[in-house]
Amino acid sequence: MRLLAVCLSLSLTFTCAAHAHEGHEGHGHAEAAPADSSYLAAIAEGAGPHYVGEGEQRYEIDLAWLRNVEEGFRGPTHGGVAVAADGTVYVSTDTEKGVYALSPAGETLLTLGPATQYLHALTLVTEAGEEVLYGVSPANKNVVKFTPEGEVLMTISQETAGDLKGGWKGVNGLTVAPDGRIYASTGYGADYVHVFSATGEHLSTFGGRGKATDEGKFRNAHGMAIDTRQGNPLLMVANRGSNRLDHFTLDGEFVAIHSAEVSLPCVPNFHGDLCGVAELDGRVTLLDKSGAVAARLGANPVDDQRHNFKVAQSDWKVGVFTAPHGLAFGPAGEIYVQDWNETGRVTKLTPAPE
């Protein structure tokens, strides 16, 4: 497989509403071709600078990060990103190396191994003063809790939690509430959200498949996150096939549509009052606390590159996404974006307000 590289530049963006999405549980990805020299030239030392966004939401593409990632990181990427308090970046892959731990500069620190392979979503939380990671795997139909070094602490599956309404097929999204409750969605299956205790016992199930206009129902409940900006914590679900972000109480009661200004949203993440959304439709959108658009970043104007797993590195453009699937903010407001891509692609954007 090809070494990873990643990019992003100052394209503000176009609104696209295509409805194709990445393959559900298939992971038989072909090996990628050798890295393309024109892309490498675009990220070489002395190239750039490259920016996306404008005003308060302008970001510089970290080309040094891309060069370091090119040296040590390998895909395919079809998962998530999580960032520790010290800036360590965890990126899931479909390779046997599983989750990569990268330094803030993009250097590979360690890989967490086969127990973390095929994780479709990642989240990092602090429990009893220690950081731990959670991931969810459609391929293995389970939730995995593990240390930053890769030691598995807990697995939740049909074997441990029993039969659930709608089953475990297509489990693809995950988040953890401040009280320790664990939420796992089956957006590639029956579209329910299963709720578990901190120790893995099944507590409840809500949602299910519905029409795009149905409140409290989903058309691919994809990524999830806990939104603490509204006072009481709320569960935010990327209702991807319905092109919206939905708010629920932590008990699973529908509250409201937070925003319909997104196209194929994969996962939300928060920094202060900003909500960053990875959109499979070839862009990242930043929303304010009210759900209004604050910025569009890296929008891809090429129809057949958006939500396309097989875009070759030779077709990558600095500052333009193809299929953002994972996203997380760093401690200083950096944005890390993982594209769904057979080569593997992850980009770092550093705040550079004008």
CA-to-CA dists, residue 55 to 7, 10, 143, 340, 351, angstroms: 20, 12, 40, 28, 10
Give a yes or no: residue 15 inside a domain. Answer: no
Check whether 12 has a pLDDT greater than 80. Answer: no
Check whether 259 has a pLDDT greater than 70. Answer: yes
Q: What pLDDT, on the 0 to 100 scale, is given for residue 66?
A: 95
| Segment 204-225 mean pLDDT | 97
Check whether 140 has a pLDDT greater than 70. Answer: yes
Model confidence at 42, in pLDDT bands (50, 70, 90)?
A: confident
Give a yes or no: residue 31 inside a domain. Answer: no
Provide, rounded to the nearest whole percent, the portion of the chain with pLDDT above 70: 90
Give a yes or no: residue 5 inside a domain. Answer: no
Model confidence at 31, in pLDDT bands (50, 70, 90)?
A: very low
Structural domain for 201, as ranges? 37-351
Give a yes or no: residue 6 inside a domain. Answer: no
Residue type, 110: L
| Segment 79-96 mean pLDDT | 98
| pLDDT per residue as tens digits for the range 280-330 | 999 999 999 999 999 999 999 999 999 999 999 889 988 899 999 999 999
Give a yes or no: residue 9 inside a domain. Answer: no
| pLDDT per residue as tens digits for the range 205-214 | 999 999 999 9
Q: Regarding predicted confidence, which is higher, 242 or 26?
A: 242
Are β-strands 324-329 and 335-339 bridged in parallel, bridged antiparallel, or unpaired?
antiparallel
Check whether 36 has a pLDDT greater than 70. Answer: no
| Segment 125-154 mean pLDDT | 98
Model confidence at 22, in pLDDT bands (50, 70, 90)?
A: low
Q: What pLDDT, on the 0 to 100 scale, is given for residue 26?
A: 42
Domains contained in the chain, number: 1
How far apart are the C-alpha atoms of 281 and 322, rounded to whole Å? 7
* pTM score: 0.90
Q: What pLDDT, on the 0 to 100 scale, is given for residue 7?
A: 37
Phi, psi for 289 (deg, rounded to 5): -60, -30
Which residues are 90's β-sheet partners? Answer: 82, 101
Q: How far apart are the first and last CA of the chain?
A: 39
How far apart are the C-alpha atoms of 183 and 39, rounded to whole Å? 39
Give the chain as a 3 state SS string: CCECCCCCCCCCCCCCCCCCCCCCCCCCCCCCCCCCHHHHHHCCCCCCCCEECCHHHCEEECHHHHHHHHHHCECCECCCEEECCCCCEEECCCCCCCCEEECCCCCEEEECCHHHCCCCEEEEEEECCEEEEEEEECCCCEEEEECCCCCEEEEECHHHHCCCCCCCCCCCEEEECCCCCEEEECCCCCCEEEEECCCCCEEEEEECECCCCCCCCECCEEEEEEECCCCCCEEEEEEHHHCEEEEECCCCCEEEEEECCCCCEEEEEEECCEEEEEECCCEEEEECCCCCEEEEECCCCCHHHCCCCCCCHHHCECCECCCEEEEEECCCCCEEEEECECCCEEEEEEECCC
Q: What pLDDT, on the 0 to 100 scale, is given for residue 41?
A: 86
- Computed over its alpha carbons, how large is the radius of gyration of the chain? 18
Supply the CATH number for residue 242's domain: 2.120.10.30
Provide, rounded to the nearest whole percent, the portion of the chain with pLDDT above 90: 85
Check whether 154 has a pLDDT greater than 80. Answer: yes
* CA angle centred on 306, ends 6 and 286, rounded to 5°: 70
Model confidence at 341, in pLDDT bands (50, 70, 90)?
A: very high
Q: What pLDDT, on the 0 to 100 scale, is given for residue 354?
A: 86
Phi, psi for 64 (deg, rounded to 5): -65, -40
Model confidence at 74, in pLDDT bands (50, 70, 90)?
A: very high
Model confidence at 89, in pLDDT bands (50, 70, 90)?
A: very high
Give a yes or no: residue 135 inside a domain. Answer: yes
Give a yes or no: residue 28 inside a domain. Answer: no
| Segment 63-68 mean pLDDT | 95
CA-to-CA dists, residue 112 to 109, 174, 278, angstroms: 10, 19, 24
Q: Which residues contact 53 (CB under 8 A, 6 or more apart)?
A: 10, 12, 59, 286, 295, 296, 297
Give a yes or no: residue 1 inside a domain. Answer: no
Instruction: Decide: 234 and 250 in contact? Cβ < 8 Å.
Output: yes
How far apart are the C-alpha atoms of 29 and 116, rounded to whole Å? 17
Check whether 32 has a pLDDT greater than 50. Answer: no
Q: What pLDDT, on the 0 to 100 scale, is given for residue 118?
A: 97
Check whether 17 has a pLDDT greater than 60. Answer: no
